[in-house]
Structure 1
Amino acid sequence: MIIDLISDTVTKPTKGMLEAMTNAKVGDDVFKMDPTTNELQEKAAKMFGMEDALFFPSGTMANQTAIKLHTQPGDKLICDKYAHVYNYEGGGAAFNSGVTCKLIDGNRGMFTAEQLQEAVADRNDIHVPFTSLVCIENTTNKGGGACWSFSELEKLQKVSKNNNLAFHLDGARLFNALVATDESPKQYGQLFDTISICLSKGLGAPIGSVLLGSKEHIAKALRIRKLFGGAMRQVGFLAAAGNYALDNHIERLAEDHQKAKEIGAVLESTSYVTKVEPIETNIVIFYVDDKIGDANFIQKMEAKDILLTPMGEGKIRIVTHLDYTNEMHEILLKELKDF
């Protein structure tokens, strides 16, 4: 038995999801004739109370499309130093949109309205790139699945609006945050100009993300998606998985969160772990004693068929997910205790 905790993207479609995919009604989505894809887009837009939505093959493409539609070459976007759009999207902001990133030194991937206000202070200086966009990531990946305070997001939106800045949410794991904080999608839909949500992480779909926004933004995003090579044909077979995920896999995220907290409790009790980051959702980030070393620890766990991933700076990451069973959980807890 391989216990794969590298990411929540390693899941396979459930039996119910596979049946939904097999039975999907499809058409040519380039001509907006795929009924299942249209259903997914309408479902997501309605869920967030936003005007429109567009299905993408990846969260990176959805985020990069949002960046391009909100900026002009030579502009600057503001994000946290841990942000996915800066660290893990291959330099796409620079390559695709010709924009630079101003990084805020936040806490676990989150910054304050005061920090944002300070970051835009030079916005009218012609010697520096023009700031046009603020990007938020919730939950924060590199920050260990941390959830933003909604009241702080409201303050950030106010600063953005007062400075005529677009406000984009990289919501790759937003449903984890919603379940953990008992907030609603519509709260977020009222706050952000655009939102990307991922269907292939905690929700268990094999592929796909959705970008939400106004009809004007999504019309522009459709052209950008085409430019990026993301136009798809009978993609309803994949959209059906997204529909099934939104209907069946949101509330169960609480199970992943509980398992993550139990893993964290065991790690806290061991002598070889020096620090465990606060655990709010399905991501556990911890550090082991220097005498052991993160690479060595990961290698030894792999020898026991337990797969973990390094996050740099000595961080080791565990991500719980749909395919991480109770049996796997008991094995992992025992191996961590006995290490």
Structure 2
Amino acid sequence: MEINLVSDTVTKPTQEMLRFMFQAEVGDDVYKQDPTVIELEARTAKMFGLEAGLFFPSGTMANQTAIKLHTQPGEQLIADKWAHVYNYEGGGVSFNSGVSCCLLEGNRGMITAEQVAGAINPPEFYHSPLTSLVCVENTTNKGGGACYDFEEFKKIRKVCDDNNLKFHLDGARIWNALVATNDNPEAYGEVFHTISVCFSKGLGAPIGSVLLSDKETINKALRVRKILGGGMRQVGYLAAAGIYALDNNIDRLKEDHRRAKELGALLQNLNWIEKVEPVETNILIFSVKKGLNEHLLIEKLKERNIHISSMGHGKLRIVTHLDYREVMHNYVLETLERIIVK
């Protein structure tokens, strides 16, 4: 029994999801003639109170498209220093859009309106790059699945409006945030100019993200997606997985959150643990005591068919997900309690 807790991207489609995918009605999406893709885009947009959506093969491409739409070469975006758009998208901010990043020292990957206001370059000062975009992530990946207080989003939007900036949400794990906070997704559509949402993490689809905005912006996004090579043909088979996920896999995220919190509570009481970050959703970040080798722990767990990941600087990460079942959870709890790290 292999237990992969490296990421929630490792999930495989269930038999029920696969059957739903195989039954999908499809067309050529490059010509915007795939009815299943059109349905997923429309349903997701309506859920967030926005006019339109566009299906992408990856969240990275959706984010990069949003950045391209909102900026011009030589300009600058504001984000937390742990932001996915900066750390994990291959330098696409500079390669695709010619944009630099002003990185802020947030709290667990979350920045404040006050920080944003203080980071905006004076638009009349032509020696510095023009600030044009703010990017935030909810939940935060490197921040350990932390959820923003929605009121902070509203404050940041006010700063953006006052300074003629656009506001983009990287919602790779937005479903986890919605389940954890009970926020209304339609409120997100009122605050953000663009939102990317992902189906291949907590919702268990094999692929796919959707970029959401108004109709005019999404029409422009269609051209950028084409330039980036993101046009696909009978992709309704994959979009069907997103529809199935919306109908069946959102509420069950509570189970992932419960299991992550139980793992965190156990680790708090182990004598070889230095620190456990707060656990809000399905990501658990912790560190072993100074002098202990975290890679030894990874190997010890691997010998017991449990796989976790290192984030560097002594930090380790566990991510719970759809394929992490209760029997596995009990086994991991027992293993962690018995294991000895020296």
Q: Say whether 1:227 aligns with 2:224.
A: no
RMSD: 0.8
Partner of 1:34: 34
Find the aligned partners of 2:312 and 2:77 in 1 and give their Cα distance. Answer: 24
1:118-158 Cα shifts (integer Å, max 9, x gaps): 00153431111111000010000000000001111110010
Equivalent position amino acid for 2:265 in 1: A
Unaligned runs of 5+ in 1: none
Partner of 1:249: 249
Query: Which is worse superposed, 294-303 or 16-25?
Result: 294-303
Partner of 1:110: 110
Partner of 1:165: 165
SS in 2 for 1:60: helix
Equivalent position amino acid for 1:276 in 2: V
Contact 2:121 2:129 in 1 (8 A): no
- What does 1:72-87 correspond to in 2, within 5 Å? 72-87=72-87
Partner of 2:10: 10
Find the aligned partners of 1:180 and 1:306 in 2 and give their Cα distance. Answer: 26
- What does 1:288-307 correspond to in 2, within 5 Å? 288-307=288-307
Partner of 1:282: 282
Give percent identity, aligned residues only.
63
Runs (4+) of structure 1 exceeding 4 A deviation are none
Partner of 1:207: 207
Query: Which is worse superposed, 287-296 or 231-240?
Result: 287-296
Unaligned runs of 5+ in 2: none
1:308-339 Cα shifts (integer Å, max 9, x gaps): 01112211000000000000000100111011
Partner of 2:261: 261
1:229-250 Cα shifts (integer Å, max 9, x gaps): 0000000000000000011110
Partner of 2:154: 154
Find the aligned partners of 2:127 and 2:303 in 1 and give their Cα distance. Answer: 54
Equivalent position amino acid for 2:302 in 1: E
Find the aligned partners of 2:69 and 2:329 in 1 and give their Cα distance. Answer: 43
Find the aligned partners of 2:317 and 2:147 in 1 and give their Cα distance. Answer: 17
SS in 2 for 1:190: helix
1:266-303 Cα shifts (integer Å, max 9, x gaps): 00010011000000000000001233222221122111
Q: Say whether 1:321 aligns with 2:324.
A: no
Taking structure 1 as the reference length, what is the TM-score of the superposition?
A: 0.99
Find the aligned partners of 1:121 and 1:85 in 2 and give their Cα distance. Answer: 20
Find the aligned partners of 1:304 and 1:332 in 2 and give their Cα distance. Answer: 9
Contact 2:121 2:128 in 1 (8 A): no
Find the aligned partners of 1:326 and 1:219 in 2 and give their Cα distance. Answer: 44
Taking structure 2 as the reference length, what is the TM-score of the superposition?
A: 0.98
